[in-house]
Amino acid sequence: MENSLLAKFVAIVGQNNIITDPAQQQPYLADWRGRYQGKAMAVVKPQTTTQVVQLVNLCNVNNITIIPQGGNTSLSGAATPLNQSTLSQVIINLSMMNKILSINKEDNSINVEAGCTLAKVIDYAEANGRYFPLNIAAKDSCQIGGNIATNAGGIHVIKYGMIRDMVLGLEVVLPNGEIFNSLNNLRKNNSYLDLKQLFIGSEGTLGIITRAILKLYPKPVGVITGLISVKTIFQAIDILNRLYAHFSVCAFEIIGKTMQSIYNTHFAANKFPLNDNWLILFELETNNENNTLNILSEVLNDVSVVICDSMVSRQNLWHIRENLPLAEKIHGIAIKHDISLPISQIELFIKQNEKSIKDYYPDAQIIIFGHLGDGNLHYNVQLATNEQTIEQEVYINKLVYTDALSLGGSVSAEHGIGQLKTSWYKLAIDPVGYNLAKQIKQLLDPKNIFNPKKIFSEIIQ
Ligand SMILES: Cc1cc2nc3c(=O)[nH]c(=O)nc-3n(C[C@H](O)[C@H](O)[C@H](O)COP(=O)(O)OP(=O)(O)OC[C@H]3O[C@@H](n4cnc5c(N)ncnc54)[C@H](O)[C@@H]3O)c2cc1C
């Protein structure tokens, strides 16, 4: 049975585009954080939408579940197959569908296959005098299809929004093998429901995204990057609003004191140039650098500030920011939370939750960094030993998520639900919304062959 099925997969994609050897499959079977390990009959790499349709039909007839996979950089185990019989699962990896199909400079749009890496799209836009603003540290590996399926965020959300705001049209192979086509580059299109939105953030549960038309933007003429130090989050929010009044703010990242000291310990050769309770890495897009610098010095006259004076110093500051997760990883295991809150509630959340955690775990280290401008905190907790951290995860999650939800927050700002947060998804969203989401999943994928046991904590029939 297995051999005859494999022969059918080979007949669709060719012998060179299928991996069955467990050792070669390994990079596709484990998630980026090394938390989940799955099994698969094969990793299959289609090169065309027609091949994707054929693969989906074959899986449908044979009741084989499909794990759509892009760059496999998910931080919630969303792209990792389950740890069950190899016979029942196939990874459809989009990396061979990696062509930029066209760019339209008049309409400011780009038409790409879903397997293009994010970096390829950014670079292509740049080479053509345009700008694609999605920017995340995984850009060299993650793919546009994965970015859309997770509704990726990153550092520029305060100005450009999540990728949802950058998608004009999509092509998606549905679980029944039909092709949904909304490939247009219209800015306005009020023709009843905007169905492409269903697939943005669907985490591989409703079909396979094969193509996308994305918005492009004018390249910023100039950029000013700087670091400031503040005592409180309220002070940071006040500065953000002062900056908004004068400038086009495109990044406003926060780094807490514990994160600063962990980073400085592990990257001693390139320490933060300032230190305080909170550091803010900000970036402004500007047309007139001299004028901006003059106004900026007035706006920031009451805080310590370092302004980057060259491309090298700018890259250096962003390099520090990108290395924070690595520094944290070197420091030991932490329980990670990607939460968002109304920005006005962040100071209160941090005070309240620090008390909730320290009441039970006086030695806990709370490591905070993230995208303050859009209310997204990477809020990670480390206990005295790695063993204790692993053992107490469920309790720590409860303390963090309960406080975040009570203040109007979300348990997943940008990393998605995957298999990491299934139980919290059900608790966190409105029950009517949960049932609606389940019904949509059942309608589109009645056999539940697309990425099962992700998102929903209960069995979907
Ligand atoms: C160092 C690092 C930094 C990160 N920073 C950020 C950040 O700042 N902001 C942020 O939002 N995320 C961030 N992430 C998380 C991750 O990079 C994003 O979620 C990214 O969008 C995933 O893209 P991918 O191609 O790797 O998708 P994968 O990990 O392969 O898949 C993710 C989900 O999308 C589905 N999927 C993938 N491709 C398709 C497709 N073509 N059709 C349908 N479903 C598909 C999968 O089934 C899975 O559910 C970071 C990750 C790392 C490792």
267-315 tens-digit pLDDT = 999 999 999 999 999 999 998 877 888 999 999 999 999 999 999 999 9
- What pLDDT does 88 receive? 87
149 CB-side CA count, 13 A = 36
Q: For ligand 1, say whether the CB of 240 is within 6 Å of any of its atoms.
A: no
Q: 60 burial class (0-12, 13-18, 19+ CB within 10 angstroms)?
A: middle
Total number of residues shown for the chain: 461
The answer on pLDDT for 384 being more than 80 is yes
Spell out the domains of the chain, with CATH numbers in brackets: 2-93 (3.30.43.10), 100-218 (3.30.465.10), 222-406 (3.30.70.2190)
Q: For ligand 1, say whether the CB of 389 is within 6 Å of any of its atoms.
A: no
Nearest CA among 215, 212, 164 for reference residue 187: 215
- pLDDT tens per residue, range 49-63: 999 999 999 999 999
- What pLDDT does 457 receive? 81
- Please state the φ and ψ torsions of residue 303, each to the nearest 5 degrees: -135, 160
Q: For ligand 1, say whether the CB of 340 is within 6 Å of any of its atoms.
A: no
The answer on pLDDT for 461 being more than 70 is no
Q: What is the best residue among 140, 142, 450 to mutate for testing ligand 1's pocket, by most ligand atoms within 8 Å of CB?
A: 142
Q: For ligand 1, say whether the CB of 97 is within 6 Å of any of its atoms.
A: no
- pLDDT tens per residue, range 394-428: 999 999 999 999 999 999 999 999 999 999 999 99
Residue 456 vs residues 417, 445, 451: alpha-carbon distances, Å:
9, 14, 10
458 pLDDT tier (thresholds 50, 70, 90): confident
User: Measured from the CA of 152, which atom of ligand 1 is nearest?
Assistant: 11
Q: Which residue has the higher pLDDT, 122 or 457?
A: 122
87 pLDDT tier (thresholds 50, 70, 90): low
Annotate 170-209 with DSSP letters as a single string. Answer: EEEE-TTS-EEE-----S---SS--GGGGGTT-TTSS-EE
Predicted TM-score (pTM) of the model is 0.96
